[in-house]
Copies of this chain bind each other. A is one copy, B any other.
């Protein structure tokens, strides 16, 4: 069993890491087809963008994404329930659709579980999330396995004429935003494991919110849609930690960054905010003219946090007077 939520291995982006493995495997798979046809995006972003099969000459696009949640790796069943596993598995896949500016359409769920597992509890959590995010589960598979794992695939659509917001479009001078304070999920896990004494400054309501942030992450669908409408140039969800995810975004875009601050969730440490991961807030690059916060205001969303700007130096990784390291959660292989 892999230890849940291993401490991030700082600055280490070795060939055994997740990104390296994904890139290598992606090459394997793409090379057989000579890469995607024009207008399609295959692996490398939050979701794939493909043309709709069977729609001749149409401009309609389909978003496709998949995520797997494994007990003992993504979820510590000692402190969260099976319904939370179900909720989380669906929500993190829907978060990938949000990160393209899309709207989820349908979900498929494959569940693996040892004999004796309360499948109804997993299904209840999946069902709550499906209803909450308006994304019906239309099919699935159920199999024996030695540990609980829930794998979800979600389709999505793009409303209106604008394209999906990729990771690769940020330009020097663009402002960088996050849709909420960070570190809440990591701090929530700490609270669930170590008890209230680990977050002495928080009252009961705040502690409950922190636990919920870990157990029941949110997909920022309205924010993703608003960002696309406001002309965001790049977007992704923060699943593995701001450090590692921002590194991915600026590498894809060929820019650097200078951050003024990283907004820290109540109860979280600055380290948790920088590299805790699993907050599923959106990281957005947009023209620095106020259009993004304006749009968020118009549609009634919490204002986004402006955390810094993109710069022309692709090697720049500045946070205040120091550096933001590309740390966060990477699976090891």
A residues touching B (Cβ–Cβ < 8 Å)?
1-2, 16, 18, 21-22, 24-26, 28-30, 32-33, 36, 40, 42-43, 47-48, 50, 52-55, 58, 60-62, 64-68, 70, 72-74, 103, 105-106, 108-117, 119-120, 123-124, 126-127, 130-131, 136-147, 149, 151, 153, 155-159, 331-333
**In the complex, A158 Cα to B33 Cα: how many Å?**
22
Say how far A31's CB is from chain B's closest CB, in angstroms: 8
Q: A25 contacts B140, CB within 8 Å?
A: yes
Q: Would you call B68 and A136 a contact (CB within 8 A)? A: no
Chain B residues within 8 Å of A112, by CB: 68, 70, 73, 149
A-B contact pairs, 5 of them (CB 8 A): A2-B115, A32-B130, A64-B138, A68-B141, A145-B147
Distance to closest chain B CB from A321 (angstroms):
36
5 additional contacts (CB under 8 A) given A2-B144, A43-B139: A28-B124, A28-B127, A32-B127, A55-B55, A144-B332
Given contacts A54-B159, A108-B153, contact A147 B144 (CB under 8 A): no
> In the assembly, what is the distance between CA of A139 and CA of B70, in Å?
19
Are A29 and B137 in contact, CB atoms less than 8 angstroms apart?
Answer: yes
Name the prevailing secondary structure of the A interface residues: mixed
Cα A109 to Cα B65 in complex, Å, equals 9
Q: Cβ of B2 and Cβ of A146 under 8 Å apart? A: yes
**Residue from B29, B48, B146, B333 in contact with A146 in the complex, judged by beta carbons closer than 8 Å:** B146
Identical chains in the assembly: 2
Residue pair B54, A157 in contact (C-beta under 8 Å): yes
Which of B36, B120, B126, B331 is A24 in contact with, Cβ under 8 Å? Answer: B120
| Interface contact B64-A108, CB-CB below 8 Å | yes
Provide the bound-state CA to CA distance between A73 and B43, in Å: 29
CA distance A110 to B68 in the complex (A): 6
Looking at the complex, which one of B28, B50, B119 makes contact with A120 (CB distance below 8 Å)? B28
Q: How far is the CA of A36 from the CA of B105 in the complex (A)?
A: 13
Cross-chain contact of A1 among B18, B131, B146 (Cβ < 8 A): B146
B22, A140: Cβ atoms under 8 Å? yes
Q: Which residues of B contact A28 (CB under 8 A)?
A: 120, 123-124, 126-127
Does B139 contact A66, Cβ atoms closer than 8 Å? yes
Q: Is the CB–CB distance between B119 and A25 below 8 Å?
A: yes
A22 and B55: CB pair below 8 A?
A: no
Contacts of A33 on B, CB cut-off 8 Å?
Answer: 130-131, 136
Please give the distance in Å from A145's CB to the nearest CB on chain B.
5
Residues of chain B within 8 A (CB-CB) of A74 are 143
Q: Is B29 a contact partner of A123 (Cβ separation < 8 A)?
A: yes
Q: Which residue of B lies closest to A116 (CB)?
A: B333
